[in-house]
Amino acid sequence: MATSFNMMAFAVNCSTQRRHFFSDSFDHLKISLASAFTKPILTGLHQAQLQFDVTRTMRNTTEKLLDAFVDSVYEFSDHPLLPSQSNYAPVEELGEAILVTSIQGKIPEDFPGGVYIRNGSNPLFGGLKSTKSVFGRSSPMWVEGEGMLHALYFKKKSDGSWTVVYNNRHVETETYKLEKQRNKPSFLPAIEGDSLAILFAYLLNWLRFGKVDKHLSNTSVFEHSGKYFSVAENHIPQEIDILTLKTLKNWNVNGAWNRPFTSHPKRASDTGELIIMGMDATKPFLEVGIISADGKKLVHRVDVKLNRCSLSHDIGITQRYIIIMDFPLTIDINRVFKGGQLIEYNKNGYARIGVMPRYGDADSIRWFEVEPSCTFHIINSFEDWRRVWGCRALDSVIPGTDRDLNKSEFFSHCYEWRMNLETGGVKERNLTGTKFSMEFPVINGNFIGFKNKYGYTQVVDTSLSSNSAIPNFGGLAKLYLEEPDAEFPLEEKQVEELVKVEYHMFEKFVFCSGVAFVPKEGGVEEDDGWIISFVHNEDTNKSQVYIIDTKRFSSEPVAKITLPGRVPYGFHGAFMPISL
């Protein structure tokens, strides 16, 4: 087919040149020449069309044969949910926004207008699917499933009252639309299970769809240059209409970013640029990028030159540096060929933190060896001793739900690393005690990359999480990062003081997700604002949004907003100040 098109191009080129050569007086000669050239062009077009039809027919036949093979060999079944996991089950799209009328308490007068939006897994066709075949069994991770956005809109009226509206909608990635059109599970799960089954899942997904796995877009939501995006680690972001939640298009920075994209990009306050990274299972394993403030250009891109694919979920920034976490939770297809698992945490593997100048390259990174651990989320990082605060565990709850969460190693606690660029030394310490496990940290976004006094986390209900094999968050914590914990038992203290922690615990069987910090309009102090969170009561099966005054953190929420339907537990939330 390529040869035919090349001949056609040559013929057209010749024809054009000759038409310019002859004068208008030679019309009859031009007609003869045109006739002479038209015949081979039409012949070439006909041959090209025939080849295209043959190719399309062969492709359609191959697709049908592969589909028939999958249908006959594979059996899909619902990935089982324990009773304690019932609120991980998916919900239907509403189809239109709904006015919220049930509000207990009062939305503060100085609360900003805008949208509180949270991303999360909402699998098609009833839930996550496992498969059984002659090749064995394969199943997804508990964090998989098509993304769904849940949004609560706040509009203040002229009389001081509030209009609150709720909506939800799936993020329509290419693979979402593909399966939706087929109206049945089509992609084979390829994360956990028997090695042969995982390898064949990858192969068959690629042969049928040109992709080894689904594009989930279920993890986080962020804004850049007035545009809003949904994202998950395994693909580029999707731009969304923040008012309708409609998916608009993929965002590849005008074609400059063609690899996965972190769920936690960071905006540099001095330039407005967006710091990103993307991990991949093949080299280059990790690249870091910087996007211009207007979102139109990738101004810097660097291969970090890792020798393994670390499952890096977060990236840190300071005023001058980028913080890279290279920890021993890795993705390695070679393990699958040897009978192992695709994703694995190696507690005996090395761990290190990289400090790279913002516009540096791999050679400019200073690496600091640290104790092996698993850190998904950074609380903050800043220049003072190149400090990094994060939520650190001694083992990983990813990939599987078959982990014994009775083991304390799976529960994370707030932690600090201090890197000294002059000596190459690093100091580590726990920031909080071991009574409560904490994850999904947030801070006042105006302090990202700068020394901050306060952080906020979701608190794990360790007893119930042990039974459900998935973390359940039964409360919230406020970290006073500059104040020592005067009440902590002396025998449990370290050389460095643990920090003060204030708690906001929920009733039994009430859990939260998607916590975000909302700065107060005209606020002066760092903690002037509110924590907002989706909350679900498993006894009543009702979902609400809580607004908690961060100055009176342990007090009752200032407002509890009852939603018109159940909202499944999800991942990261954000508050976007917008005009409605």
Instruction: Show Cβ contacts of residue 59 under 8 Å, excluding neighbours closer than 6 positions.
Output: none
Average pLDDT over residues 266-280: 97
170 labeled part of a ligand binding site: no
Query: From CA 302, how far away is CA 275, in angstroms rounded?
Result: 12
300 labeled part of a ligand binding site: no
| CB neighbour class for 181 (10 Å; exposed up to 12, middle 13-18, buried from 19) | exposed
504 labeled part of a ligand binding site: no
Beta carbons within 10 angstroms of residue 136's beta carbon: 16
pLDDT digits (tens, 9 = 90+) for 161-214: 999 999 999 999 999 999 999 999 999 999 999 999 999 999 999 999 999 999
Query: From CA 46, how far away is CA 23, in angstroms rounded?
Result: 32
Least confident stretch, 72-81, 311-320, 423-432, 446-455: 72-81
Partners of residue 345 on adjacent β-strands:
329
Partners of residue 470 on adjacent β-strands:
none
Does 404 have pLDDT greater than 60?
A: no
pLDDT digits (tens, 9 = 90+) for 57-81: 667 788 889 999 999 999 999 987 7
The pLDDT score that the predictor gives to residue 496 is 62
> Regarding predicted confidence, which is higher, 65 or 404?
65
Partners of residue 476 on adjacent β-strands:
458, 504
Q: What confidence category does residue 56 fall into, taking pLDDT thresholds of 50, 70 and 90?
A: low
What is the rounded average pLDDT for all residues in the chain?
88
Tell me the chain's radius of gyration from C-alpha atoms: 27
Does 260 have pLDDT greater than 90?
A: yes
pLDDT digits (tens, 9 = 90+) for 536-570: 999 999 999 999 999 999 999 999 999 999 999 99
The pLDDT score that the predictor gives to residue 364 is 98
- N-terminal to C-terminal alpha carbon distance within the chain: 54
The pLDDT score that the predictor gives to residue 31 is 37
Does 38 have pLDDT greater than 90?
A: no
Most confident range (mean pLDDT) of 339-348, 399-408, 459-468 is 339-348
**Residue 573: CA atoms inside 13 Å, Cβ hemisphere, count?**
25
Query: From CA 380, how far away is CA 451, in angstroms rounded?
Result: 8
Q: How many helices and strands in the chain, by DSSP H and E?
A: 6, 37
The pLDDT score that the predictor gives to residue 399 is 79
Beta carbons within 10 angstroms of residue 116's beta carbon: 24
Instruction: Show Cβ contacts of residue 504 under 8 Å, excluding neighbours closer than 6 positions.
Output: 475, 476, 477, 478, 531, 548, 553, 554
The pLDDT score that the predictor gives to residue 46 is 54
* 488-to-431, 538, 539, 555 alpha-carbon distances in Å: 12, 32, 33, 21
Residue with tokens 């009440």: 487
- How is residue 243 written in tokens? 């008012």
Q: What confidence category does residue 571 fall into, taking pLDDT thresholds of 50, 70 and 90?
A: very high
Query: From CA 215, how far away is CA 174, in angstroms rounded?
Result: 7
Provide the 3-class DSSP secondary structure of residue 466: helix
pLDDT digits (tens, 9 = 90+) for 208-249: 999 999 999 999 999 999 999 999 999 999 999 999 999 999
Give percent above pLDDT 70 in the chain.
Answer: 86
Q: What confidence category does residue 49 fall into, taking pLDDT thresholds of 50, 70 and 90?
A: low
Instruction: Show Cβ contacts of residue 263 under 8 Å, excluding neighbours closer than 6 positions.
Output: 219, 220, 231, 232, 233, 313, 314, 571, 572
The pLDDT score that the predictor gives to residue 234 is 92
150 labeled part of a ligand binding site: no
- How is residue 384 written in tokens? 């003072």
Q: Judge if the upstream peptide bond of residue 399 is cis by omega within 30 degrees of 0.
A: yes
The pLDDT score that the predictor gives to residue 84 is 67
Q: Strand order in 309-310's β-sheet?
A: 309-310, 329-331, 343-345
Query: From CA 44, how far away is CA 530, in angstroms rounded?
Result: 69
Residue with tokens 């508990």: 142
Query: From CA 92, how far away is CA 520, in angstroms rounded?
Result: 34
DSSP H helices in 135-215: 174-182, 195-209
